[in-house]
């Protein structure tokens, strides 16, 4: 076990949100941060077809860990091929009442109802401007809970972050802001994407992050909108946390409200990813998220249609060295199936 992973074990003795806050503070001080980014196997290099993003590894850090863009430089050194910060809203907001973050240890899972707690766009952009790392950094934007015009919030967010980020993510799938997921409905999504398409004057790639709690009709509607008013998008991130509670959950916290992430989300999020991949037929980039805790999990997402993947919750249990371990394991999996690069394996189980 590395010193970094040992530190993560110590932090886990704290309550979940206090542990996260302590982790961010330590990273800002450089504690436990590798001196340099680890070398990547050339097999892992990825160029996303529509967005053109070039990644040294397909393994990215999902939004939610670094909400305020405090430590993208530090996280880039842990082996991530890209780092996504946020979710950020135009105005600062405290989020939902505490406690709002729960470890489901027996299930290798997390439930959160954070509610887009963040310091707002001004703070976020000041920090984003200072990023000097050598992997792409994305900015995940959302709407304020009390906003009278949520579409305008997304436009404001995109206009603010796009000049300084490598890509932008429109997050309409958090379950912890009342009514937000309604923006995934066909007519609301058409309105949102038409407005946001005019906001990205910097011409950066833009992704739409969707929920795993979508039925076949909802997936079909999103696909139609993405091909229509959303044709300017680079792709989708599939998926956010789930409101579902599988019967297999054992933890005493399983009844807490909020979004469930971690191991129990792997199967469902991969099924929804595959459904989008079959429908979109490579027309858009797909980033797979949800439940990834190993090289095998990441590989399953790639073979189900993901051009790249993201993780976050598994670091609670596996430590910050997880991305590097996945990077070490993926080449062997690719070679065993006769693939010479990540791109060769994308969608091969569809």
Local confidence pLDDT in tens for the 350 residues of the chain: 444 555 566 677 899 999 999 999 999 999 999 999 999 999 999 999 999 999 999 999 999 999 999 999 999 999 999 999 999 999 999 999 999 999 999 999 999 999 999 999 999 999 999 999 989 999 999 999 999 999 999 999 999 999 999 999 999 999 999 999 999 999 999 999 999 998 867 899 999 999 999 999 999 999 999 999 999 999 999 999 999 999 999 999 999 999 999 999 999 999 999 999 999 999 999 999 999 999 999 999 999 999 999 999 999 999 999 999 999 999 999 999 999 999 999 999 99
Tokens 């990273």 appear where? 27
Whether the predicted model's global pTM rises above the 0.95 cut: yes
In 3D space, the residue among 295, 219, 289, 302 whose CA is nearest the CA of residue 261 turns out to be: 289
Kindly provide the residue ranges of all beta strands, DSSP E only, lying in 242-299, ordered along the sequence.
259-262, 285-289
Kindly provide the residue ranges of all beta strands, DSSP E only, lying in the chain, ordered along the sequence.
46-47, 54-55, 59-61, 82-88, 101-104, 109-112, 137-141, 167-171, 206-210, 235-238, 259-262, 285-289, 308-311
- 51, 173, 174, 239: which one is catalytic? 174
User: DSSP state, 62?
Assistant: P
251 part of the active site: no
Cα 174 to Cα 243: distance, rounded to the nearest angstrom: 10
């Amino acid at each position: 076990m590395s010193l970094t992973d040992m530190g993560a074990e110590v932090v886990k003795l704290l309550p979940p949100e206090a542990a996260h806050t302590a982790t961010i503070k330590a990273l800002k001080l450089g504690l436990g941060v590798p001196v340099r980014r680890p070398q990547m196997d050339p097999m892992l290099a990825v160029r996303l077809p529509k967005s053109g993003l070039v990644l040294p590894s397909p393994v990215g850090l999902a939004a939610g860990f670094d909400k305020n863009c405090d430590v993208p430089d530090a996280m880039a050194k842990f082996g991530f091929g890209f780092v996504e910060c946020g979710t950020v809203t135009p105005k600062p907001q405290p989020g939902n009442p505490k406690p709002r973050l729960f470890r489901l240890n027996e299930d290798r899972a997390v439930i959160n109802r954070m509610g887009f707690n963040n310091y707002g766009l001004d703070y976020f952009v000041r920090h984003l401007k200072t990023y000097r790392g050598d992997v792409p950094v994305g900015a995940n934007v959302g709407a304020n809970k009390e906003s009278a015009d949520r579409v305008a919030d997304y436009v404001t967010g995109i206009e603010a972050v796009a000049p300084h980020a490598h890509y932008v993510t429109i997050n309409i799938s958090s379950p912890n802001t009342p009514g937000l997921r309604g923006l995934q409905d066909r007519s609301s999504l058409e309105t949102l994407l038409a407005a946001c398409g005019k906001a990205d004057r910097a011409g950066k790639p833009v992704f739409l992050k969707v929920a795993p709690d979508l039925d076949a009709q909802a997936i079909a509607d999103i696909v139609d909108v993405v091909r229509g008013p959303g044709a300017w998008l680079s792709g989708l991130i599939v998926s956010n946390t789930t409101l579902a509670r599988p019967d297999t959950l054992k933890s005493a916290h399983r009844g807490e409200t909020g979004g469930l992430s971690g191991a129990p989300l792997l199967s469902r999020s991969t099924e929804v990813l595959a459904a989008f991949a079959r429908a979109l037929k490579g027309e858009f980039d797909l980033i797979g998220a949800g439940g990834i805790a190993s090289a095998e999990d990441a590989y399953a997402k790639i073979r189900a249609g993901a051009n790249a993947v993201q993780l976050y919750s598994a670091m609670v249990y596996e430590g910050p060295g997880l991305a590097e371990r996945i990077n070490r394991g993926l080449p062997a999996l690719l070679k065993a199936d006769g693939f010479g690069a990540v791109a060769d394996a994308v969608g091969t189980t569809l």
